[in-house]
Amino acid sequence: MTEVAPTQSPAPAGEITLEAGAGGFGNVENEATVLGIRQQTQFGDVRRRFFRHKLAVVGLVMVGLVFLAAIASPVIATRPPKAQDLTNTLQEPSSAHWFGTDELGRDQFSRVIYGSRIAVTVGLASIILALVIGVTLGAVSGYLGRGWDAVIMRTADVFFAFPLIIGAIVVILVMGRGVTPVVISLGIFSWATIARLLRSSILSIREAEYVEAARSLGAGKWRIVTRHVLPNSMAPVLVYAMVSVATAIVAEAALSYLGAGVQPDVPDWGNMISAGQKFFGFKDYLWFFPSMAVVFTVLGFIFVGDGLRDALDPRLR
Amino acid sequence: MRHTGNSGRFAAVALCLSLLAAACGGSDDDNDNAGGQTNTTAAATGKTGGVFRIAIGEPAAIDPYNTRESEGTNVNKRLFVGLVTYDGNAELKMRPGVAEKWSFNTDCTQWTFNLRKGSKFTNGEEVTAKSFIDGWTRAVIGTAASQVAYHLTDVQGYKELHAAPPTATTFSGLSAPDPYTFVVKLSASDCEFDKKTGTPVTSPVPSTAGDAKNQTFNEAPVGNGQFMIKPGTKWEHNQKISLVRNDGFFGDKPKLDGIDYTIFPAQGRLDAEYRAFTAGDVDFARIPPALFSQAKSTYEPQGNFLKQEMFGINYIMPNSAKGPLANADARKAVSLAIDRDAINKGVYQGSLTSATALIPPPFGEFYQASTCADTCKYDPVKAKEFATKGGLTPGTHLKLSYNNDGGHEPLVQAWKDQLERNLGVVVDLDGKPFAEQLQQRDKGDFDLARAGWSADYPTADNFLFPLLGTGAEDNDGGYSNKAFDALITKERSPVSDSERKKAIQDAEKLAVGTDAAAIPTYYRTQYRVFDSKKWSGVSLDFHENPTLGTIGPR
């Protein structure tokens, strides 16, 4: 997990530069354009710096490929992922079966492709869930402070105390196996870091001058939080969330590997590695390809997360 | 009863449970490997000496009061000998143990065992009738909470002693007119009771054993067997158990100086065990199903591959009491929809034998290959017909319970695929650790369950009554048929051997053939690897453990 330092974000109004090019979207018509000066929004600036980061672009392409595989699985896969063929079990990779076949004669290539669906679904859904919980609680904790802060942060401490996988297994034992329990269990054990990050970020931003200005202009609490504080404190949270998607994908694979994730017949990378490990040393293709799929996807998300961090960090500007 | 958690060949994963499984009832390790020939001939040539190294899983118990699965049985049978023994071979043969001879009355309700004189525990105390009374009482008394006391259910006074809390402190059915005469009174006829007196729970214990909670004895039991716990050591949990030869043993002296059991963690145990063998760290190993072909091709040419048909069966237990499979035709549809041979070839690399009977072939004259030959084969068209007759309509959900620590995932996925394809039903896989699966089965919370069974003692009855008798402890499918129960009562009563055989065979035909209350899948063929250049006399005993009494260095 990448340590992300809370950063002082730029003021919300578009920064005006004289630099040409990079016409941002969301340009606001204002005096600057009238004067013929290209205005650059914060988002445009971030985007520009992100795309200058080579590894980030590579990561984006990798993540894009995984999404493509997930969306277009039926088109890319050469066979239905659950179709068994007991006359063709444990076949080495060949032109008919690019990644070979497993113990039940299922096509490994098709299963790896379909496995991306579980990885992407679980990775994104669990982090979105963590974001919803973490951002809400983090904002309440950071902005309202006092009793709220104490209660929420101590609760977060409790969740910190559980190792992710152990906590998730406990939840799954109660709820049963399947995609939804995995998403929920990973979500509820990932929110605490998000809440903490956001809280510390808010603590510094709520004292910023522009917030004070808004307050002195008579803006309500709700407006200040949603329009000024949150948008400017989210950067570290977003970076963390992006990297957490990778963590969640690994965690899901680990859960399935341990027999606590999705059902064993579901094409899933963790399931495939688990089934393949007993052939370690003489049918290595069984665990190699699904393992590579995990590595590829996780690296993609980490590269994107790194690029995003660099792009959002004003000190690197 | 020994359920086996491992289904045979798969066992890759979790054998701990399988231990349980194995031990408890069956051992699960059925998987062991396939193989080759038994090497009984070698025994005669062995020299004395050597320490044989074996990998096992953490036993549930090695103290006889609660020894119940394969791993614990492996150790326990080295330390104790009961009234009779069937440890030295894998045949349907019983030999005298501490009892030299025995007799029974006309209705098989009173058994008199005449004990040999001068046989001793390794602490020097003589084994007498009192040692048996102490051992049986200590195991059955309710406060011991033994999970294997039920083997003695039919002994008079069992109920009172086994109640919790006990309403008696002595076992009223047992008596010792003199130190070398042990009399057992039964509350029901059982003409094969003698065959049950070789199971671990019937072992004698010395007067120092104390009660079942005596931790010293639990971890370093003092017995009367061919080996004893190495003096000064005890069972080091999750680490090892070391035994040395008991030179004072009354019978055939073992050749080995000692046995070192290394305890492997449950997760991936079978793999670890096999790899330890290939690395030369143990002398004997079970084979993970996935490596079967490789093991066979490597070790069979060297004569290091052991294959034996054992006293066990793998089967599907349908819920005959409630749900969609309460109808016999629906159960037959399930049996016909499963392609045993294709799964054997594809998943098990041909190492199993498809079953058409519940009582397996080693039972010789009791074995009937035709028990369910009509329905224990693959015939999707007939399966569909039976499904229609039995009301098993497409879309019906069937909960398939299995233990997820025995490497059964490929098997249950193949079943699921075939049932869904051939019958249009929806199979919901429900995998749990073995101990939890047994609880789930007890509650009847399943439609189909993967099940395995290994014999506790060499009787055909042991495959019928416990699994299919009305109200029997392990009849989790809830099958109940008065005609079947009547045949069991008859078979247990004093009838001629041919009448007993007929009653057993009729009972099996009725429950397994006509009613399909158990769906046999594979016989329990066992495979092991060992180093035949180094060791002689290696084969498997009744409990599927190596014949440590005859093994010796070459």
Cα–Cα distance for residue pair A284/B393, rounded to 1 Å: 42
Q: List, for residues B149-190, the tens digit of each pLDDT value.
A: 989 999 999 999 999 899 999 999 999 999 999 999 999 999
Strands B51-57 and B258-264: parallel
Instruction: Please judge whether B346 and A278 are an interchain contact, meaning their C-beta atoms are less than 8 angstroms apart.
Output: no
Instruction: Please judge whether B410 and A104 are an interchain contact, meaning their C-beta atoms are less than 8 angstroms apart.
Output: yes
Instruction: Please judge whether A104 and B345 are an interchain contact, meaning their C-beta atoms are less than 8 angstroms apart.
Output: no
pLDDT of B164 reads 87
Instruction: Please judge whether A86 and B414 are an interchain contact, meaning their C-beta atoms are less than 8 angstroms apart.
Output: yes
CB-CB neighbors (< 8 A) of A279 in chain B:
290-291
pLDDT of A11 reads 44
| Residues contacting B134, CB < 8 A, separation 6+ | B204, B205, B207, B209
pLDDT of B17 reads 28
CB-CB neighbors (< 8 A) of A264 in chain B:
404, 409, 412-413, 429, 431
Nearest one of B128, B214, B211, B134 to B170, comparing CA atoms: B134
Closest chain A CA to residue B268: A278
Nearest one of B251, B223, B278, B290 to B78, comparing CA atoms: B223
CB-based burial of residue B297 (10 Å sphere; 0-12 exposed, 13-18 middle, 19+ buried)? Answer: exposed
The C-alpha angle with vertex B521 and arms to B270 and B437, in degrees rounded to 5, equals 60
Instruction: Please judge whether B413 and A279 are an interchain contact, meaning their C-beta atoms are less than 8 angstroms apart.
Output: no
Provide the token pair at A198: 């956001």
Instruction: Please judge whether B417 and A103 are an interchain contact, meaning their C-beta atoms are less than 8 angstroms apart.
Output: no
Q: What is the mean pLDDT of residues B9-23?
A: 30
DSSP sequence for B394-437? TT-EEEEEEETTTT-HHHHHHHHHHHHHHH--EEEEEEE-HHHH
Q: State the pLDDT confidence band at B4, using cuts at 50, 70 and 90.
A: low
Bridge partner list, B236: B240
Instruction: Please judge whether B409 and A279 are an interchain contact, meaning their C-beta atoms are less than 8 angstroms apart.
Output: no
Cα–Cα distance for residue pair A47/A310, rounded to 1 Å: 11
Q: What is the mean pLDDT of residues B323-343?
A: 97
pLDDT of B533 reads 92
**How many other CB atoms sit within 10 Å of the CB of residue A74?**
11
pLDDT of B33 reads 34
Instruction: Please judge whether A87 and B404 are an interchain contact, meaning their C-beta atoms are less than 8 angstroms apart.
Output: no
pLDDT of A302 reads 94
Nearest one of A119, A186, A103, A265 to B430, comparing CA atoms: A265
Cα–Cα distance for residue pair A254/A259, rounded to 1 Å: 9
Cα–Cα distance for residue pair A180/A167, rounded to 1 Å: 15
Asked whether the predicted pLDDT for residue B522 surpasses 50, the reply is yes
Provide the token pair at A28: 């606001």
Cα–Cα distance for residue pair B88/A76, rounded to 1 Å: 59
Distance of CA A201 to the CA centre of its chain: 19
Q: Is B294 on the interface with A (CB under 8 A)?
A: yes
DSSP sequence for B200-265? GGG----GGG-STT-HHHHHS---SSSEEEPTT---BTTTEEEEEE-TT-SSPPPS-SEEEEEEEP
Provide the token pair at B292: 């079967």
Closest chain B CA to residue A83: B417
Q: List, for residues B279-328, the tens digit of each pLDDT value.
A: 999 999 999 887 898 899 999 999 999 999 888 999 999 999 999 999 99
When mean pLDDT is compared over A15-19, A72-76, B67-71, B452-456, the highest value belongs to A72-76
Task: Write phi, then psi, for B281 (nearest 5 degrees).
Answer: -90, -20
Place of tokens 């092991």: B528
Instruction: Please judge whether A87 and B346 are an interchain contact, meaning their C-beta atoms are less than 8 angstroms apart.
Output: yes
DSSP sequence for B61-115? --STTT--SHHHHHHHHHH---SEE--S-SSS--EESSEEEEEE-TTS-EEEEEE
Q: Is B409 on the interface with A (CB under 8 A)?
A: yes
Cα–Cα distance for residue pair B413/A13, rounded to 1 Å: 59
pLDDT of B516 reads 97
pLDDT of A285 reads 94
E strand intervals along B336-487: 397-403, 426-432, 448-454
E strand intervals along chain A: 15-16, 39-40
Place of tokens 């326990």: B76
pLDDT of B24 reads 34
Instruction: Please judge whether B413 and A84 are an interchain contact, meaning their C-beta atoms are less than 8 angstroms apart.
Output: yes
Provide the token pair at B66: 């609660």
Place of tokens 């079943």: B415
CB-based burial of residue B260 (10 Å sphere; 0-12 exposed, 13-18 middle, 19+ buried)? Answer: middle
Which of A79, A85, A86, A256 is the mutation pick for testing B, counting most B CBs within 10 A? Answer: A86
* Higher-confidence position of B406 and B488: B488
E strand intervals along B276-395: 284-286, 305-318
Q: Are B317 and B331 in contact (CB under 8 A)?
A: no
CB-CB neighbors (< 8 A) of B12 in chain A:
278
Q: Is B414 on the interface with A (CB under 8 A)?
A: yes
For residue B392, the one-letter residue type is L
CB-CB neighbors (< 8 A) of B414 in chain A:
84, 86, 104
pTM (2 d.p.):
0.80
The residues on A that touch B, with CB distances below 8 Å, are 82, 84-89, 103-105, 177, 259, 263-265, 275, 277-279, 282-283
Task: Write phi, then psi, for B222 (nearest 5 degrees).
Answer: -100, 115
Q: How many residues does chain A have?
A: 317
Q: State the pLDDT confidence band at B94, using cuts at 50, 70 and 90.
A: confident
b/e sequence B182-204, b meaning 16+ C-beta within 10 Å = bebbbeebbbbbbbbbbbbbbbb
CB-CB neighbors (< 8 A) of B268 in chain A:
277-278
Q: Are A128 and A248 in contact (CB under 8 A)?
A: no
Closest chain A CA to residue B344: A86
Q: Are B336 and B384 in contact (CB under 8 A)?
A: no
Q: State the pLDDT confidence band at B112, using cuts at 50, 70 and 90.
A: very high
CB-CB neighbors (< 8 A) of B338 in chain A:
none
Q: Is B407 on the interface with A (CB under 8 A)?
A: yes
Asked whether the predicted pLDDT for residue B407 surpasses 80, the reply is no
Whether the predicted interface score ipTM is above 0.95? no
**Helix pair angle (A230-257, A164-175), 10° resolution:** 70
CB-based burial of residue B237 (10 Å sphere; 0-12 exposed, 13-18 middle, 19+ buried)? Answer: exposed
Q: What is the dihedral of CA B133, B134, B140, B146, to 10 degrees?
A: -140
Cα–Cα distance for residue pair B270/B15, rounded to 1 Å: 7
Task: Tell me which of 3.40.190.10, 1.10.150.120, 1.10.3720.10, 3.20.20.240 is the CATH number of domain A43-85+96-316.
Answer: 1.10.3720.10
CB-CB neighbors (< 8 A) of B291 in chain A:
278-279, 282
Identity of the residue in B271, B342, B409 whose CB atom sits nearest the CB atom of A264? B409
Instruction: Please judge whether B404 and A86 are an interchain contact, meaning their C-beta atoms are less than 8 angstroms apart.
Output: no
CB-CB neighbors (< 8 A) of B431 in chain A:
177, 259, 264
Instruction: Please judge whether A259 and B404 are an interchain contact, meaning their C-beta atoms are less than 8 angstroms apart.
Output: yes
CB-based burial of residue B262 (10 Å sphere; 0-12 exposed, 13-18 middle, 19+ buried)? Answer: middle
Identity of the residue in A84, A259, A282 whose CB atom sits nearest the CB atom of B431? A259
Q: Provide the percentage of residues in chain B whose pLDDT is more than 70.
A: 91
Closest chain A CA to residue B342: A86
Q: Is B288 on the interface with A (CB under 8 A)?
A: yes
Task: Write phi, then psi, for A15 (nearest 5 degrees).
Answer: -80, 140
From first to last of its 317 residues, chain A has per-residue pLDDT tens of: 444 444 444 444 444 444 444 444 444 445 555 555 666 677 788 888 899 999 999 999 999 999 999 999 999 999 999 999 999 988 999 999 999 999 899 999 999 999 999 999 999 999 999 999 999 999 999 888 889 999 999 999 999 888 889 989 999 989 988 899 999 999 999 999 999 999 999 988 888 898 899 989 998 888 888 888 888 888 889 999 999 999 999 999 999 998 888 888 899 999 999 988 888 887 899 999 999 999 999 999 999 999 998 888 767 65
Q: Are A115 and A257 in contact (CB under 8 A)?
A: no
